[in-house]
Amino acid sequence: MKVQVKYFANIKDLMGKDTEDIKDMNSITVGELWLNLTKDMDIQIKVLYAVNQVYVSKDYKLNDGDEIAFFPPVTGG
């Protein structure tokens, strides 16, 4: 299956790109996808997930054609 990934705000800076297509992947959760994408990086940041513009938890099982957005929490002010 294939999904489209979008990186938002400082996640975009970390990944060095704002979007990418992931092809030939197994059916995994959105949290597992994040771990796969960042496995060679030293990333301490907390990330949040939206699939098809809906907020989901890390256990959300991805489907073919999903659009995934990774974004950071913001609590300052």
Partner 1 sequence: MKNEKKNNISLSDEDLLRYNKHILLDEIGIDGIELLNTKHIAIIGLGGIGCPLAQYLSTSGIGTITLIDSDIIEETNLQRQVLYTGLDIGKYKVDIASTKIKKMNPKLNVFTSKLRFCKDTSKIIRNVDMVIDATDNFSTRTAINAATIKYKKPLIMGAAIEMQGQISVFRNDHKDMPCYNCLYSDIEDQATSCMNQGVLSSLTGAVGSILATEAIKVLLSMSETLESKLLLIDFKNMIFRNIKIVKDKKCCVCNEL
Give residues in contact with partner 1 (CB under 8 A). Answer: 8-10, 12-13, 18, 44-46, 48, 50, 53-55, 57, 69, 71-77
47 and 71 Cβ atoms separated by less than 8 Å: yes
As measured in angstroms, the least distance from the Cβ of 32 to partner 1 is 18
- Residue 29 in tokens: 């959760």
Nearer to partner 1, 26 or 74 (CB): 74
Sheet strands (E) in the chain: 3-7, 19-22, 48-51, 54-56, 67-71
Smallest separation, CB 39 to partner 1 (Å): 20
Helix, strand or coil for residue 70? Answer: strand
Q: Pick the closer one to partner 1 by CB: 2 or 17.
A: 17
